[in-house]
Structure 1
Amino acid sequence: MSTQQGVKLQIESDHVVLDNGMLKLTISKPQGMVTGIQYNGVTNLLESRNDEIDRGYWDLVWSKTGSTGTKGSQERISGTSFSVIVENEEQVEVSFKRTWDPSLEGQLPSLIIDKRFIMLKNSSGFYSYGIFEHLAEWSPFNLPQVRIVFKLSKDKFHYMAVSDNRQRFMPLPDDRSEKRSKPLAYPEAVLLVNPVEPEFKGEVDDKYQYSCENKDLKVHGWICSDPTVGFWQITPSNEFRTGGLVKQNLTSHVGPINLAMFLSAHYAGDEMVLKLKPGEPWKKVLGPVFMHLNTTTDGRDPLSLWEDAKRQMAVEVQSWPYSFPASEDFPKAEQRGRISGRFLVHDWCVSETSIPGNGGYVGLAPPGEVGSWQTDGKGYQFWTQADEQGLFSIANVRPGDYNLYAYIPGFLGDYKFGSSVTIAPGSSMDMGDVVYEPPRHGPTLWEMGYPDRTASGFYVPDVDPKYINKLYVNHPDRFRQYGLWDRYTELYPDKDVVYTVGKSDWAKDWFYAHIPRFLPKQQRTKEGEYVPTTWQIKFYVDSVGNTSSSNVGDYLLRVAVATAHVAELQVRINNQDMSSSPLFSTGVIGHDNTIGRHGIHGLYRLYEVLVPAALLSKGENIFYFTQTQTKSPATAPFEGPFQGIMYDYIRLEAPPSSPHCLSLA
């Protein structure tokens, strides 16, 4: 679909209309709420039965400084002034700004927010971005979430697509009503017992089942088959998102609702909440993102709109950074810099020399500690993957000071370059060889799992047929089914996991989440309905190294945790007495909510446990891993069965003086 009409702007008393002949966008003035999208003969693709403020909007969640957790007050961002930034036949850009002054203290977060909308000539869609600014003299606050929400017509949009293998016809929002559904363990999840369309009966609907990692979350949306129309949200860059490439975000869900997530604490918790300090200024551009509309003109299958949306996504990615946003806070390509180099890995137990970091993730993020990028939301991040030779190049980096960070599947830990890196406008920096030396105490005695920062290598059970989502039957993302946590008690009703190195298979014998056991009513006590669980790792040693007081003869246990939620891991060796002091404890860690939200990873944590040789015996030895934390979900909805740890990788290393290494390659 194309047109030669230029972009027209019509300013009315309480609305503005952007029209390029292909689509017409109506926005309330000065609030900046998208009230109508007219396209392909459809008067409004949005849910016109909703109030005008409940169709297409920016919103945020904020809380007072010092607050903990991810909850807070929600603000549907409403502009107080309207202005035209650009108006010509090629482009219209309009602004809806809301200001702040001390009279609003406690009512709104102390932010100036400028919401922008752009329409281009001959473009089947529109762009939106926001400029958020906090001045140093203003009161600080926390900002857990910022997003754009579009609520599409429920009569038209029934088919949702997130990826090639994650798309389906969806239930109606009416199916989530009290008379048609049954509440489950938390409000987001319901069992459909009397849906409008019988085909959905017995399925679970839960928006978290459609979460996606940032690196894979470039296009998602909905299809209407009569008339044939697709509505897609395209995110061409991750630079403005929270937490790096593998941070998980919501996408689309029953409504039909389409989301563009900018800041989010999902799958991370309080540690990822943006927290401004007293006297700290902050400014960030979120977006632009592109809302793409498409249709078919030759009777093609409506599902072909997904393929077209992917092609448009590639065009948008290639066009980044856009040349047309008018804000001076959005640097164009010539105002940005580039960095390149070669990423190498040197683990002396794998290779005597450095090897190419093939597939390693290399990125620039705000200066901080090793791994601090995974909880950062204040600044910008720029990531890429190294090629087979370890070569990497990161283009279009905003000017500023960064640290160079990296990590690589197959090896433990995180890399940080020794000094900060300054990117100047138009600069090109060659870092040369960047060598990562993963943590290593001694040769590998045994290992469990694969170190890729997820629990994907461990055993994920079949879903209980009562709680099925048909999309994930025979699907590689089987962990996205509801209620898998309850399968642990069914599979291990009396005894916990026992894993024997050399005999057991971690893909079959190591449950994907270390969680409490649910007690039958007759066994419950006043302490609650869940009890801690202790998993065993049995292993054999032919001989024990030096048992002197020197650490040289000690062993080292490395435990990489893919996610944790209000959990504590205690480790003991050859001692099952849980009342005794553990060899190691993490303390209570994590608010990732990954188990309940059908993820396979949250925040990555790496622990090392020094194991004195004197505690080992020739022959059989046993590590006891106890997850101690249990609470009642009646008082804490995301606790009880959701408290636990997902392991990424576990390795026992011999003393450094041992002669042999087990290659991880």
Structure 2
Amino acid sequence: MENQDVFTARDGGEMGRDGCTSSSQRVRLNVQDKLVVMDNGMVQVTVSKPEGFITGIKYNGISNLLEVRNEEFDRGYWDLVWSEAGSAGTTGTDDRMNATKFDVIVENDEQVEISFTRMWDSSKEGTMVPLNIDKRFVMLRNCSGFYSYGIYEHSGEWPAFNLPQTRIVFKLRKDKFKYMAVGDNRQRCMPLPDDRLPGRGQPLATPEAVLLVNPVEPEFKGEVDDKYQYSCENKDLQVHGWICFDPPVGFWQITPSNEFRSGGLLKQNLTSHVGPITLAMFLSAHYGGEDLVLKLAPGEPWKKVFGPVFFYLNCASKADDPLKLWDDAKEQMLSEVQSWPYAFPASEEYQTSDQRGYVSGKLMIQDRYISETLIPANGAYVGLAPPGEVGSWQTEVKGYQLWTKADSDGYFSINNVRTGDYYIYAWVPCYVGDYRNDGAIIVTPGCQVDVGDLVYEPPRDGPTLWEIGIPDRSAAEFYVPDPDPKYINRLYLNHPDKFRQYGLWERYTELYPDNDLIYTIDASDYRKDWFFAQVPRKINDSTYQGTTWQIKFKLDDVHQSETYKLRPALATANVAQLEVRINDPQANPPLFSSGVIGHDNTIARHGIHGLYRSYVVDIPGAQLAAGDNTVFLSQTMSTSPLQGIMYDYIRFEGPPPSPNDKNNVGF
């Protein structure tokens, strides 16, 4: 970095100056009766013994970066949410996993690794999650921070149970850390936790959202605070955290790999939020609902390593710009990614690079309505995930997933793959549907598997007659309204992620008070005329009404005996039901009904997408007319304003041309 006053973690050289702690001393471990202290001369971490709660982090002259007003078990901790088998929903019992045994795993000049374990006790069945849990903390020499990872194990002889969530939580000092950074264009000074309390904050429609009516600092008055406004997709969720301005210190959570996170690259997770709080999320049901709850059946063994993740500390001189700490944290993140898989974890359950394998290949697309030849899958997301159905990686929560992005020619390579059986999955921007190979890929230590050329044939039955949107699994390209001025987050004013504002669902009724949306092919513009979410219309404070959108289009001629296809792809659904009719809004039954689908809760949580769903609707040519036609899309569920769907893309296909038609290529 140009700024030499900011130091990085593991360069082994001079670590800083002008007030930044620097050291090359050995790592020391001090084991006391009720606590354990790891110290490498730059960072000192105190952990309760045997529980395994981080009670203190000393750095750069600050005696404790964690909130000293909190109880010791409420500063830095692993936690999980669990429920008994058969329980519905995504809630359960909170468990901070108080360990009962402490062990020193590694202790030398270069590294300390300590373990805090809790074993399953059958006498506590029904009151204790049936898992063996091993929480590990690692400190290295010349390293400005520390690592943590966990090993969870369930024997097939133990009771079945559900696991909706597990994570690491750090609660920093509110008098020190007031500036939060999640991305280059997602960083700001944040309100205080006090501002959310009664008298200062007014609860809104969702429990996480609070309108700040009398904040301690007047600059935040009139803003909405909601932790879900700072969610992030796994593929972009590698570093986030907080900055203290006096002295200039940064606290960052760095995740070097997505392999141990659930739900794949597009899964959205919480990051940092008012507290100040920083999270390392491993498993959660956010933006997917119960489909993303890990459920272990009777007799099902399971074991997984979560992490390691890195908690990085940096500092600058008082004369320097504290915001440069974010730039340094990004550089450190890249260094951690390049170092993955780490060589230092001592657990035999963690696989180092020599224990892993390599998979490569080339993905091509076959769509004869676009090209007579195969098309390289430029920019395809290609991944290895446990064997399952097509698209099952979205809801896969038990195993490991490893993803990469194909180059412009469709070539892909996935390095450092944990041993095991995988399917190859993929999805390609600008094409609907999901790819999955037919057979399992078996990865063994040191293997180099070249799967050769793979061909994905996206779902299609005929030429495109018209389309709405972009098939990219997101509703972001559609019309996202400006927020109600009463409910704003100033960070997202004039921001590309304006969908993160609170209460946008209410704008539909304001824009369409009497009649629903009508979209006309070749005249309307989906960027301006297609509302991003099909939600109920508000009739009064307690009554809502299902909505029916219309797509008007013309056909020059109709093949009455042929079948046309409508392909709606959904970016999300929340306790919604989509019904499709053609030219008769009262037709009963409809041509298509999705049934009640989804518990993504994306509309309330400002996520612009949840779980991807795609459908095909057969439309008999006899129901179409030469000239004007209308597709009616009804979202019928209306007991809550937060029910609804977001479309990803809609395509209307004509019947396939005859084999003798020389003009059957292209739209």
TM-score (normalised: structure 1): 0.96
Corresponding residue of 1:271: 291
User: Contact 1:59–1:74 (CA<8 Å) still a contact in 2?
Assistant: yes
Whether 2:591 is the aligned partner of 1:583: answer yes
Per-residue CA distance 1:455-489 (angstroms, 9 max, x = gap): 11111001111001000001000000000000000
Q: In structure 2, what is the Cα distance between the partners aligned to 1:248 and 1:400?
A: 26
User: Contact 1:444–1:662 (CA<8 Å) still a contact in 2?
Assistant: no
Shift of 1:661: 6.0
Whether 2:529 is the aligned partner of 1:529: answer no
Whether 2:281 is the aligned partner of 1:261: answer yes
Shift of 1:297: 3.1
User: Contact 2:248–2:318 (CA<8 Å) still a contact in 1?
Assistant: no
Q: In structure 2, what is the Cα distance between the partners aligned to 1:229 and 1:457?
A: 38
User: Contact 1:99–1:111 (CA<8 Å) still a contact in 2?
Assistant: yes
How many residues matched?
644
Shift of 1:520: 3.1
Corresponding residue of 1:75: 95
Corresponding residue of 1:601: 609
The 5-angstrom pairing of residues 324-363 of structure 1 reads 324-363=344-383
Aligned AA for 1:593? N
The secondary structure found in structure 2 opposite 1:465 is coil
Q: In structure 1, what is the Cα distance between the partners aligned to 2:506 and 2:151?
A: 44
Whether 2:136 is the aligned partner of 1:116: answer yes
The 5-angstrom pairing of residues 204-219 of structure 1 reads 204-219=224-239
1:322 equivalent among 342, 350, 358: 342
Corresponding residue of 2:30: 10
Corresponding residue of 1:524: none
Shift of 1:300: 1.3
1:615 equivalent among 609, 616, 623: 623
1:417 equivalent among 412, 437, 440: 437
Corresponding residue of 2:582: 573
User: Contact 2:134–2:152 (CA<8 Å) still a contact in 1?
Assistant: yes
Corresponding residue of 1:561: 570
The secondary structure found in structure 2 opposite 1:106 is coil
2:553 equivalent among 533, 539, 547: 539
Q: In structure 1, what is the Cα distance between the partners aligned to 2:70 and 2:263?
A: 33
Per-residue CA distance 1:483-538 (angstroms, 9 max, x = gap): 000000000000000001111111111100000000136xxxxxx50000000000
The secondary structure found in structure 2 opposite 1:642 is coil
Shift of 1:299: 2.2
Q: In structure 2, what is the Cα distance between the partners aligned to 1:408 and 1:507?
A: 22
The secondary structure found in structure 1 opposite 2:207 is coil
Shift of 1:355: 1.0
Per-residue CA distance 1:616-648 (angstroms, 9 max, x = gap): 0111011111100011xxxxxxxx111000000
Aligned AA for 1:539? F
Q: In structure 1, what is the Cα distance between the partners aligned to 2:519 and 2:638?
A: 23
Note the residue ranges of structure 2 that are not aligned, 5 or more in a row. 1-14, 16-21
Aligned AA for 2:571? A
Q: In structure 1, what is the Cα distance between the partners aligned to 2:611 and 2:267?
A: 9
Q: In structure 2, what is the Cα distance between the partners aligned to 1:648 and 1:460?
A: 14
Q: In structure 2, what is the Cα distance between the partners aligned to 1:442 and 1:69?
A: 40
Aligned-residue sequence identity (percent) comes to 66
RMSD between aligned residues? 1.0
Whether 2:73 is the aligned partner of 1:53: answer yes
The 5-angstrom pairing of residues 216-231 of structure 1 reads 216-231=236-251
Q: In structure 2, what is the Cα distance between the partners aligned to 1:140 and 1:365?
A: 23
Q: In structure 2, what is the Cα distance between the partners aligned to 1:78 and 1:622?
A: 60
User: Contact 2:247–2:318 (CA<8 Å) still a contact in 1?
Assistant: no
The secondary structure found in structure 2 opposite 1:327 is coil
Shift of 1:576: 1.5
Q: In structure 1, what is the Cα distance between the partners aligned to 2:128 and 2:227?
A: 28
Aligned AA for 2:221? K
1:202 equivalent among 195, 199, 222: 222
TM-score (normalised: structure 2): 0.96
The secondary structure found in structure 2 opposite 1:641 is coil
User: Contact 1:445–1:662 (CA<8 Å) still a contact in 2?
Assistant: no
User: Contact 1:239–1:382 (CA<8 Å) still a contact in 2?
Assistant: yes
The secondary structure found in structure 1 opposite 2:403 is strand
Corresponding residue of 2:19: none
User: Contact 2:315–2:325 (CA<8 Å) still a contact in 1?
Assistant: yes
User: Contact 2:467–2:649 (CA<8 Å) still a contact in 1?
Assistant: yes
The 5-angstrom pairing of residues 379-458 of structure 1 reads 379-458=399-478
Whether 2:324 is the aligned partner of 1:309: answer no
Q: In structure 2, what is the Cα distance between the partners aligned to 1:134 and 1:104?
A: 15
Q: In structure 1, what is the Cα distance between the partners aligned to 2:436 and 2:183?
A: 32
Q: In structure 2, what is the Cα distance between the partners aligned to 1:10 and 1:378?
A: 36
